[in-house]
Amino acid sequence: MAAHQEDVEALVAEREYEAGFVTDLESDTIAPGLNEDVIRFISGKKDEPEWMLEWRLEAYRQWKQMKSPKWPHLHYAPIDYQKISYFSAPKSSAGKPKSLDEVDPKLLETYAKLGIPLHEQEMLAGVEGASYPRSNNVAVDAVFDSVSVATTFKGKLKDAGVIFCSISEAIQEHPELVKKYLGSVVPRGDNFFAGLNAAVFTDGSFVYIPKGVRCPMELSTYFRINAENTGQFERTLIIAEAGSHVSYLEGCTAPQRDENQLHAAVVELVAEDDAEIKYSTVQNWYPGDENGKGGIFNFVTKRGDCRGARSKISWTQVETGSAITWKYPSCILTGDDSVGEFYSVAVTRGMQQADTGTKMIHIGRNSKSTIIAKGISAARGEQAYRGLVKILPSAANARNFTQCDSLLIGDKCGAHTFPYVESRNSTAKLEHEATTSKIGEDQMFYCLQRGLTEEDAVSLIVNGFCKDVFKELPMEFAVEAQKLLDVTLENAVG
């Protein structure tokens, strides 16, 4: 019995991190440290208007009064915020390239290597050898360290009335929209990491879907951390006007380095009446080695506001990377009949730790939420699911269904579930289911007896476990997620 369990553990003990390479290029990186001058520098680099700088400085002042949260089920040495560099951009990106021809070939190569083609022509043709082939119906915003280096299909999107650009560009081109919505879902003082982000955010994506428009293609942002000792603080804002629809995906990777790197992002979504936003994440930041050396600290605040009646926001996330993940994509269900969904697969292995979950705040009448969280822990991975379902007195007939399942591979890993429920309306209906299972030796043997290799058997069982979540991902991303999971849990046997 023991022998076999060890085999399964060995299977997942090591893995190759395919995205761990470094792009060698000259970059503009400011010295580590954080003060008002650094914020002025970042704002200046981006030619920001005065109001934006003021907004950042105010955030910084608030942040200085705040303390990093102690409640997560996570263990790490305190972060020295003065040792991080808050801005790094490839030199070649100074004076943002107008077209792809002006983008540094090394950058293009980096994205090609990651399977993220930035040439629209190529995308249409399909790029051979890309590790994660994407369909050609996806527009990409590529963020490299602190700057967006390219955004594809802007023309086609513009024809449909959709704005898809970097947040820096939006601040220049659409200040009225940014002013109106920035910080309206995640206020500057919301939490420690959101405050830090508000002060120093560098780039990220901006999406605006006008009334009644169904976005003609999937939108995606690909975040890449490259520079050393640099934090990435991106900020994404998506606004879906009444009756509009958009599906958005983000992907993330970083080189393999021995130091921990900080990633503190903020994502805000706003859905007006009848609007729908589907937000999918495939997070594959460098997780550190099997002894816990290196890896990304991923502290992220993601929140969507279903402002309008019958609006809908779905978060789907596949989290396989990062040394530490602290992340609770949430929905504020303000509108009557609004719908919030959270589908999550989180994998922790090696020494990875994740404290993740969601918050569903029911305000509107008949608002509905669904939470399906699947946690997979292997090796010495530690994972906590933390979910809050809050029903305010106004939310008559609110409904929530929560299901959290944990799958343990080996017996040195851990899974913990912290569901919080606060209901202040007696007409609300809440259902909660939770299971914890070990990857069954019986299941393994059944598959082996049918002829499958151990690797294929683990992959099959894990994929089955995650099915309810994968089926929520857009087709091509589901394939990508499945492959990623296979790579994550794969290792040559014996």
Partner 1 sequence: MLSIKNLHAEVDGKPILRGINLDIPAGEIHAIMGPNGSGKSTLASVLAGREEYEVTQGSVTYKNHKLLELDPNERACEGVFLGFQYPVEIPGVSNLYLLRAAINARRKYHGEPEIAAIDFMKLVQEKIDYVGMSMDMVKRGVNEDFSGGEKKRNEIFQMLMLEPTLALLDETDSGLDIDALKVVADGINRLRSPERSTVLVTHYKRLLEYVVPDRVHVLYKGQIVRSGGPELADTLEAEGYANLETDETAATS
- Contact mark string toward partner 1, 293..322, x via CB under 8 A: ------------------------------
Residue 224 CB, nearest approach to partner 1 (Å): 32
DSSP per position, 177-202: HHHHHTTSSS-TTSSHHHHHHHHH--
In the complex with partner 1, the residue whose CB is nearer, 62 or 443, is 443
- Contact mark string toward partner 1, 219..248, x via CB under 8 A: ------------------------------
Q: Return the structure tokens found at 388.
A: 């809050």
The site that binds partner 1 (CB under 8 A) totals a number of residues, namely 27
Residue 461 CB, nearest approach to partner 1 (Å): 6
Amino acid at 69: P
In the complex with partner 1, the residue whose CB is nearer, 92 or 459, is 459
Residue 422 CB, nearest approach to partner 1 (Å): 31
| 4 lines the binding site for partner 1 (CB under 8 A) | yes
Cα 4 to Cα 191: distance, rounded to the nearest angstrom = 45
Of residues 438 through 477, those in contact with partner 1 by CB under 8 A are 440-443, 445-454, 456, 460-461, 463-468
In the complex with partner 1, the residue whose CB is nearer, 102 or 441, is 441
Neighbours of 81 (CB within 10 A): 16
CA dihedral over 179, 183, 184, 185, signed as positive or negative: positive
Residue 368 CB, nearest approach to partner 1 (Å): 24
Backbone dihedral region of 151: left (phi > 0), alpha (psi from -120 to 50 degrees) or beta?
beta
Enumerate residues 6+ apart whose C-beta is below 8 A from 411: 5, 438
Residue 331 CB, nearest approach to partner 1 (Å): 25
Enumerate residues 6+ apart whose C-beta is below 8 A from 360: 330, 331, 333, 340, 342, 369, 371, 387, 388, 389, 390, 400
In the complex with partner 1, the residue whose CB is nearer, 351 or 466, is 466
Residue 6 CB, nearest approach to partner 1 (Å): 10
Residue 442 CB, nearest approach to partner 1 (Å): 5
Contact in structure between 107 and 144 (CB atoms under 8 Å): yes
Residue 320 CB, nearest approach to partner 1 (Å): 18
Contact in structure between 153 and 120 (CB atoms under 8 Å): yes
- Contact mark string toward partner 1, 189..208, x via CB under 8 A: --------------------
Neighbours of 464 (CB within 10 A): 12
Contact in structure between 241 and 438 (CB atoms under 8 Å): no
- Contact mark string toward partner 1, 5..34, x via CB under 8 A: --x---------------------------
Residue 273 CB, nearest approach to partner 1 (Å): 36
Of residues 357 through 416, those in contact with partner 1 by CB under 8 A are none
Cα 24 to Cα 422: distance, rounded to the nearest angstrom = 51
In the complex with partner 1, the residue whose CB is nearer, 76 or 446, is 446
**What CA–CA distances, in Å, run from 449 to 441, 445, 461?**
12, 6, 14
Query: Candidates 2-10, 45-53, 126-134, 340-348 — which segment interacts with partner 1 by CB under 8 A?
Result: 2-10
Q: Which residues pair with 434 in a beta bridge?
A: 404
Of residues 135 through 174, those in contact with partner 1 by CB under 8 A are none
Query: Interface with partner 1 by CB under 8 A: which residues?
Result: 1, 3-4, 7, 440-443, 445-454, 456, 460-461, 463-468
